[in-house]
With several copies, the nearest count.
Chain A
């Protein structure tokens, strides 16, 4: 029993951190703010080359043959660096080796997104079907009303771009229709897909929660008011301490969910994954908000990047569906 990173996992995190520092520096990714093509194909291929998408694909299928625990380590780093793009969907697509559409997902030459088919609202009005990074996508996974997956090429999709997306690094489009697509996998595949979405989205969020905590702490050490660094005031200290608690609790939840997915006889993966997604999404939102507060007026400027974490956290949280539903999943299995 060991819930700390192994040496291999530390090394893996280091590799990802180096790629993030090189290709996804804040300065570099911010240049693409507000553009429809935030995902750079070269950068995406570099992530593929590092194994970000093929990590959990079996070696005899051409993957790295590692587990969700390793993927969680990687995705926490990607979240910390605010790396944009359909990371979770592309990673999970690489495992759907039955579908010819996803041949290049593993090496990052095919970019894959995901969307949940919306229900009609009670009044019969159509809920807008919002897709992320559509202009960069080659293919898409559709989660149907029955929970089963289908896949489709994005070539012939009709969509209206949203001119002002909340997160300037997550371009959005509204699909005007959504074809049926080709079924892929069975019910177990669909369940694993949901679990994978919970765990990896949770990992991104946990990394983001840690990043906004660090940003607040760094600022609080440096910013002077009333002749002292603001981090010397208890009020600021306690905001930061609470951020650390949220980030650490979220990371523990994500990590244990990932290991449980790899070793399913050690626990209830559905409960662990749903709980991890819930706590991590909340931590990412709350820490970004608190970090803005610690940054004071500067936190409200476009220049300081902490708000980008807040907007991304909302994007990721919304991709999980209502957070209350995650809580009820945990409750039903407690």
Chain B
């Protein structure tokens, strides 16, 4: 076990840090949450800067046009971006971290040539059409249908929880091409042009009040058969392949941000005479441990290509920890937690250098999705128990 980085890794870090220090001050002002066009421009603009500097697709293999970095370099990359408060991946999320890697692994040469470079350059934005209202945890129950008609599929149905649909050029879409009984054996993976006729986008308001997500409705949308990635009815496997790209770095940004938040909560608590020091210290020890676990998972990925059992363990622990940090924040600011708008005055307010009530409310409210999205904690526990511990299926 070793916490030191190689000279090459240190150099990568130094160069990246220097580039960030030079580049970030040149970025335009952040657009408002509701300004979708502005957000697209901002996020893809930063992606273009990364591309020009050679930092696009750090985690993509070189044959896909990426940098082909090692897992440890990927860790250094996300760590440095977070510590420098660089923009999040934002609207580039699905393209860079999901659809792109899938096409790298499973696309035809034509598909790779057509779709990958614009993702890396920040020219194309992708969204995801996987979940459906009746296919949440049970994704394989999806019903959106694609029926062959000559060289096209005709797609009907709906999707939910689609981020950035308003500004997306393409959608990675899971559709049913076999009968419903075939479950995960009758699913195909399509590239859908978001400009195709018959797509309706309805913003979905969440409990956080925001409309980060949308519902998609498809009325006879034509998708060329040539846009299918993988074989017909083999889309489930294609989807799973993407998971194998994960190197244990998925939550690094949020984890480091949580540590920074806890630090500022500790300062707020100090200003109040530290009545919550036990609770803060406990959460701090847990965050430190999950940072260690992250680095272990990355170490495992560096050796074997996959982060091992640590990924599921991390997700279970972190999603519940994040909720407890949210609750601590709300408890510390009392009545201040009743407002989404910034309030002024006490140690926790932004005006006094604290984290601000708005961020704390936001952290708390959004934490409730952490134990639901991407597999509820209940499903995660089943997975841990069955796949890692080998307990029999129920």
Determine whether A and B are in direct contact in the complex, meaning some CB atoms lie less than 8 angstroms apart. yes
Residues of A within 8 A of B (CB): 1-6, 9, 69, 121-123, 125-128, 130, 162-167, 170, 172, 174, 217, 220-221, 224-226, 228-229, 231-238, 240-242, 244-245, 248-250, 252-253, 255-256, 258-260, 263, 266-267, 271-272, 274-276, 278-279, 289, 292-293, 296-303, 307, 310, 314-315, 318-319, 321-324, 326-332, 334
Bound together, the chains give a CA A302 to CA B202 distance in angstroms of 14
- Say yes or no for B346: interface residue by CB 8 A criterion: yes
A244 and B389 contact, Cβ closer than 8 Å, known pairs A125-B345, A297-B131: yes
Asked whether, in the complex, the Cβ of B313 is within 8 Å of the Cβ of A331, the reply is no
The reply on B200 being an interface residue by CB < 8 A is no
Q: How far is the CB of A297 from chain B (nearest CB, A)?
A: 5
Measured CB to CB, the closest approach of chain B to A151, in angstroms, equals 21
CA distance A138 to B199 in the complex (A): 51
Q: Is B352 an interface residue (CB 8 A)?
A: yes
Which residues on B sit within 8 Å (CB–CB) of A123?
Answer: 271, 346-347, 352
Which of A167, A241, A299: most chain B Cβ within 10 A? Answer: A241
Chain A residue at minimal CB-CB distance from B279:
A327
| CB of B4 closer than 8 Å to a CB of A | yes
Question: Known contacts being A128-B335, A263-B3, A297-B136, is A121 close to B278, with CB within 8 Å?
Answer: no
Complex formed: what's the CA distance from A164 to B342 in Å? Answer: 10
Contact A302 B206 (CB under 8 A): yes
B residues less than 8 Å from A3 (CB atoms): 1-3, 292, 295-296, 299
Chain A residue nearest in CB terms to B385: A237
User: Is A276 a contact of B289 with CB atoms below 8 Å?
Assistant: yes
**Does B384 make an interface contact (CB < 8 A)?**
yes
**Per-residue contact bits, chain B 376-394, to A (CB 8 Å; 1 contact, 0 not):** 1110111011101111111
Given A1-B4, A162-B341, A331-B277, 19 new contacts (CB under 8 A): A1-B75, A5-B1, A9-B1, A166-B339, A170-B338, A221-B390, A232-B391, A232-B393, A234-B378, A248-B293, A249-B313, A249-B317, A255-B292, A297-B160, A300-B373, A318-B337, A324-B278, A334-B280, A334-B281
A293 to B376, Cβ gap below 8 A?
yes
Q: Contact at A314–B338, with CB atoms within 8 Å?
A: yes
With contacts A238-B385, A327-B281 known, is A279 near B341, CB below 8 A? Answer: no
Q: Which of A5, A163, A224, A253 contacts B285 (CB 8 A)?
A: A253
**Other-chain contact of B207, A69, A263, A302 (Cβ < 8 Å):** A302
Determine chain B's interface SS by DSSP, over half rule: helix
Interface string of B184-209 (1 = CB under 8 A from A): 00000000000000000000111101
Contact B389 A241 (CB under 8 A): yes
- The CA of A174 and the CA of B344, in the complex, are separated in Å by 10
12 pairs of residues in contact across A and B, judged by CB atoms under 8 Å: A69-B1, A127-B335, A127-B346, A164-B341, A225-B136, A226-B137, A255-B292, A255-B296, A256-B288, A256-B289, A302-B206, A327-B285
Task: For A9, list chain B residues within 8 Å (CB).
Answer: 1
- Check if B338 sits within 8 Å of A245, measured CB to CB: no
Interface residues of B in 54-86 (CB under 8 A from A): 72, 75
Are B280 and A331 within 8 A (Cβ)?
yes
Question: What 1/0 mask marks residues of chain B from 254 to 295 whose CB sits below 8 Å from any chain A CB?
Answer: 000000001100100101111101111110111011111101
Closest to A166 in B: B338
Nearest CB of chain B from residue A313's CB, rounded to whole Å: 11
Name B358's closest neighbour in chain A (CB-CB): A164
- Quick check: A253 and B289 within 8 Å, CB to CB? yes
Interface size class of B (residues with CB under 8 A): 35 or more
B371 at the interface (CB under 8 A from A): yes
For residue B166, CB closer than 8 A to chain A, the reply is: no
Complex contact A245–B316 (CB within 8 A)? yes
Write out the residue numbers on chain A whose beta carbons fall within 8 Å of the beta carbon of B299.
1-4
Q: Is the CB of A334 within 8 A of B205?
A: no
Residues of A within 8 A of B280 (CB): 327, 331, 334
Chain A contact residues, majority secondary structure: helix
CA distance A33 to B137 in the complex (A): 31
The reply to whether B389 and A279 contact each other, CB–CB distance below 8 Å, is no
A240 and B278 CA atoms in complex are apart in Å by 27
CB-nearest residue of chain B to A292 = B368
Q: Taking the complex as formed, is B336 at the interface, i.e. its CB lies under 8 A from any CB of chain A?
A: yes
With both chains docked as a complex, state the minimum distance between the C-beta of A301 and any C-beta of chain B, in angstroms.
6
Residue among B207, B337, B392 making CB contact with A229, cutoff 8 Å: B392
A244 to B273, CA, bound (A): 36
Minimal Cβ-Cβ distance residue in A for B394: A232
Q: Report how far A314 CA is from B262 CA in the complex, Å.
A: 21
Knowing A162-B339, A301-B206, A322-B334, the reply to whether A328 touches B292 (Cβ < 8 A) is: no
Interchain CA distance A242-B209 in the complex, whole Å: 29
Q: Are B339 and A237 in contact (CB under 8 A)?
A: no
Closest residue of chain A to B2 (Cβ to Cβ) is A2
Q: How far is the CA of A238 from the CA of B9 in the complex (A)?
A: 39
A179 CA to B81 CA in the complex, in Å?
50
A226–B284 CA distance with the chains assembled, in angstroms: 38
A283 to nearest B CB, angstroms?
10
Q: Mark B109-144, 1 if CB is under 8 A from A, else 0.
A: 000000000000000000000010110111001000
Q: Does B20 contact A (CB under 8 A)?
A: no
CB distance from B84 to the nearest CB of A (A): 19
Given A128-B345, A256-B288, A296-B372, does the pair A4, B271 have CB atoms closer than 8 Å? no
A327 to B4, CA, bound (A): 27
Q: Which one of B204, B295, B337 contacts A1 once the chains associate, using CB atoms below 8 Å?
A: B295
B390: chain A residues within 8 A (beta carbon): 217, 221
On whether A221 and B392 interact (CB within 8 A), knowing A274-B285, A328-B281, the answer reads yes
Closest to B263 in A: A334
Asked whether, in the complex, the Cβ of B286 is within 8 Å of the Cβ of A249, the reply is: yes
Tell yes or no: B155 within 8 A of A by CB: no
The answer on a CB contact under 8 Å between A252 and B289 is yes
Could you say which of B205, B278, B337, B384 contacts A301, with CB atoms under 8 Å apart?
Answer: B205
Chain A CB within 10 Å, residue with most, of B269, B344, B373, B385:
B385
Q: Which residue of B lies closest to A174 (CB)?
A: B343
